[in-house]
Chains A and B, each alone.
Chain A
Amino acid sequence: MSKLNSSLASSLFISFGLALVFGSTPLFAQTQANCDFKTFDPHSGYIYGFSPNGINHYNTVVGEADGPQEGMGKAFIRYSGGSMTIFAVPKAQYTVFNRRNKYGTSVGWYGPQPVTVPPGTGSNGLMYTSKSYATLNYPGSPTRN
């Protein structure tokens, strides 16, 4: 498997970290990490949620922003310089990017509805480059629209 293909296939459905935090009883004594934060805002109107799910070697961040209508979500790419682009699969109510590799290919999912723990019925795996996108579904899984 080539390096490119390996990265392409990586982590189609991720971003569960927040959704799967059911409890927070620490097993170990925890200290707070000393972090240098740089913040950024979603596009205007995308006020219902914002999930910067993945970051690649070039500090390009990909994720999903909820809006501009409630119940809709679109994928975004934010480059290290601060510019941001939005992408949505045609007719999909939700499009989400989870990871992006250093070759500029992003992976995630799209579907007709938001899901707490993807994939939900009707959702599809997604691979996206600057020129095109493709669907990747596990054979027989009821994730296809």
Chain B
Amino acid sequence: MGTALDAKTKDLFGFKYENGKFSQIKYPGATQTMVTGNNDNGVIIGGYQKGSSPWTGFALENGMFKSVKLSAGYVPSDINNRGEIVSGNEILYPNGKLEIIYLPGSAGTSALGINDLGVISGDASYGTFEFQGFTATCK
């Protein structure tokens, strides 16, 4: 899975690369589509933009696009095999529960990846040129 740039329009579109062949992934009616992750259950996540509207997240499963109930303006970053999705400072559980991830003492916390055990990778900022990485296990 990935995202590429259209040579003519300069808009983004998602793609799948399988058995040496590429196929495009475009959200219906969207100007731009990006693919940000997938899991072993065939769920693909990403975001789309219509015109100059804010990006909106989606999940693509069995050929059907579904909305992802993150906060407005958030696009999913990663999904694991349990269906847990991270984006920005949020984690969305398969039951619809949405929680904030915050590293105490930081000015900002971002969850960027999540593995199949539920361990999250991300970064925390503390000010100009002050960053830390983290792994986190959340309950």
Cα distance, A23 to B110, chains bound together (Å): 14
Per-position 1/0 for A38-70, Cβ under 8 A of B: 111110000111111111110101010000000
| B71 lies within 8 A of A17 (CB) | no
- In this assembly, does B2 line the interface, its C-beta being within 8 Å of a C-beta of chain A? yes
| B69 lies within 8 A of A18 (CB) | no
- In this assembly, does B60 line the interface, its C-beta being within 8 Å of a C-beta of chain A? no
For A9, what are the chain B residues with a Cβ–Cβ distance below 8 Å?
Answer: 1-2, 16-18
- In this assembly, does B137 line the interface, its C-beta being within 8 Å of a C-beta of chain A? yes
The total of Cβ contacts below 8 Å across the A-B interface reads: 217
Q: How many residues of B contact A (CB 8 A)?
A: 69
For A37, what are the chain B residues with a Cβ–Cβ distance below 8 Å?
Answer: 103, 134-136
Question: Given A11-B35, A99-B37, does the pair A33, B101 have CB atoms closer than 8 Å?
Answer: yes
| A10 lies within 8 A of B132 (CB) | no
Q: How many residues of A contact B (CB 8 A)?
A: 65
| B139 lies within 8 A of A119 (CB) | no
B residues whose Cβ falls under 8 Å from a Cβ of A = 1-7, 12, 15-19, 22, 34-38, 40, 47, 54-55, 69-78, 86-88, 90-91, 98-103, 110-117, 119-124, 129-139
Between-chain CB contacts (< 8 Å), 11 pairs: A9-B2, A9-B18, A16-B34, A17-B76, A37-B136, A47-B129, A51-B123, A54-B78, A55-B114, A59-B115, A63-B133
